[in-house]
Amino acid sequence: MTIEKALVVGTGLIGTSVALALREKGVTVYLSDVDADAVRLAGELGAGREWTGEEADLALLAMPPHLVGERLAELQKQRAARTYTDVASVKVGPIADAERLGCDLTSYLPGHPLAGRERSGPAAARADLFLGRPWALCPGPETGADAVRRARELVALCGAEAVTVGAEEHDSAVALVSHAPHVAASAVAASLVDGGDVALGLAGQGLRDVTRIAAGDPSLWRMILGGNTRPVVAVLDRIAADLAAAASALRSGDLDVVTDLLRRGVDGHGRIPGKHGGPVRAFTVVQVVLRDRPGELARLFNAAALAEVNIEDVRLEHSTGLPVGVAEISVRPADAGRLADAFRFHGWHVPPVH
């Protein structure tokens, strides 16, 4: 192991989660933050101990994009670590700042773990936040081999998958798959502000899904969007133009334009990799009608275990004010019939498996 001591600068959600992951692997972790309370809380959560100037193998800068360059320069001046990386969700700006401030670019490998939560701060941190998630690494022409090696090791220690990508390509990519969709979700959610209670009462899971990310912290997203304006604007312009064209076509009764957008939407949706990464694994869903009483799920999963069926995913659908719910249990297609039979044998109602 070449990372024995790590310094985490910025003990928010991401920094503390990295610290917790490293602690689980036995790495010594030092913590630093402008907010002393955040360092104390992260320390109490087991993320490491307060940094008092010790030299680390790797320093992780976990702060908003516009602060990375300046802090990197300071840390390098202090010789805080042998290798530096950051987690800012945009990359071109921080790299330009680092160059402008005369930072040593051989020891700095810009990075960005694609993981997060709607909640922020050290209390929301979890060691497994990065498990199986992509972690972009953006080496430049000056990046040294040691920096690459240590940054890749950091990614591996966090259980993430390293994706090497140029900084400009990275910023365009996150504009497309994260930043512009966030603004679009905010615009849909904003349209609800003046909606009547009856209208909102007719809302379903679809609306909840479309607007979920709109609950994110506006001040954090202001910084993210402000650090990636050109790529975000390019995507937003296309989305806004598509929506304006759809509205105009609907107004004039030209439904073909709308249908074309809906079709492109189906195609675009199909390009998103599955939840498990890579191609979508095809599971079959077995539905079971549950009663809302203690032990019901235990009985259900016991029945699955007895049938020797491995459950890949579970989704519970509760019903408004009713003491029943539906469990949707994803299993390998070959197991679905056996599982449905087992549930029926134990007395549950199982709708036909499709």
3-state secondary structure the chain: CCCCEEEEECCCHHHHHHHHHHHHCCCEEEEECCCHHHHHHHHHCCCCEECCCCCEEEEEECCCHHHHHHHHHHHHHCCCEEEEEECCCCCHHHHHHHHHCCCCCCCEECEEECCCCCCCCHHHCCCCCCCCCEEEECCCCCCCHHHHHHHHHHHHHCCCEEEECCHHHHHHHHHHHHHHHHHHHHHHHHCCCCCCHHHHHCCCHHHHHHHHHHHCCHHHHHHHHHCCHHHHHHHHHHHHHHHHHHHHHHHHCCHHHHHHHHHHHHHHHHCCCCCCCCCCCCCEEEEEEEECCCCHHHHHHHHHHHCCCCCCEEEEEECCCCCEEEEEEEECHHHHHHHHHHHHHCCCECCCCC
Please report, as residue ranges, which positions from 282 to 301 form the binding site for its own copies (by CB under 8 A). Answer: 287, 289, 292-295, 297-301
Please report, as residue ranges, which positions from 12 to 41 form the binding site for its own copies (by CB under 8 A). Answer: 20
Number of residues that bind its own copies (CB under 8 A): 140
Distance of CA 182 to the CA centre of its chain: 12
Binding mask 304-333 for its own copies (x = CB under 8 A): xx--xxxxxxxxxxxxxxx-x-x-------
Cβ proximity to its own copies: between 100 and 119 the closer is 119
Please report, as residue ranges, which positions from 216 to 275 form the binding site for its own copies (by CB under 8 A). Answer: 216, 218-219, 221-222, 225-226, 229, 232-233, 235-240, 242-244, 246-247, 250-251, 253, 255, 258-259, 261-273, 275
Cβ proximity to its own copies: between 79 and 197 the closer is 197
Taking CB under 8 A as the criterion, the residue among 276, 337, 344, 345 binding its own copies is: 276
Question: How far is Cα 275 from Cα 193, in angstroms, rounded to an integer?
Answer: 31
Cβ proximity to its own copies: between 7 and 173 the closer is 173
Residue 201 is a binding residue for its own copies (CB under 8 A): yes
Taking CB under 8 A as the criterion, the residue among 145, 193, 282, 334 binding its own copies is: 193
Distance of CA 318 to the CA centre of its chain: 26
Minimum distance, C-beta of residue 191 to its own copies, in the bound complex (Å): 5
Taking CB under 8 A as the criterion, the residue among 96, 177, 337, 344 binding its own copies is: 177
Minimum distance, C-beta of residue 12 to its own copies, in the bound complex (Å): 14
351 burial type by CB count under 10 A (0-12 exposed, 13-18 middle, 19+ buried): exposed
Cβ proximity to its own copies: between 34 and 199 the closer is 199
Please report, as residue ranges, which positions from 114 to 173 form the binding site for its own copies (by CB under 8 A). Answer: 114-116, 119, 123-124, 126-128, 131-134, 136, 159, 161, 163, 165, 169-170, 172-173
Cβ proximity to its own copies: between 106 and 186 the closer is 186
Residue 278 is a binding residue for its own copies (CB under 8 A): yes
Minimum distance, C-beta of residue 67 to its own copies, in the bound complex (Å): 16
Binding mask 65-104 for its own copies (x = CB under 8 A): ----------------------------------------
Cβ proximity to its own copies: between 144 and 325 the closer is 325
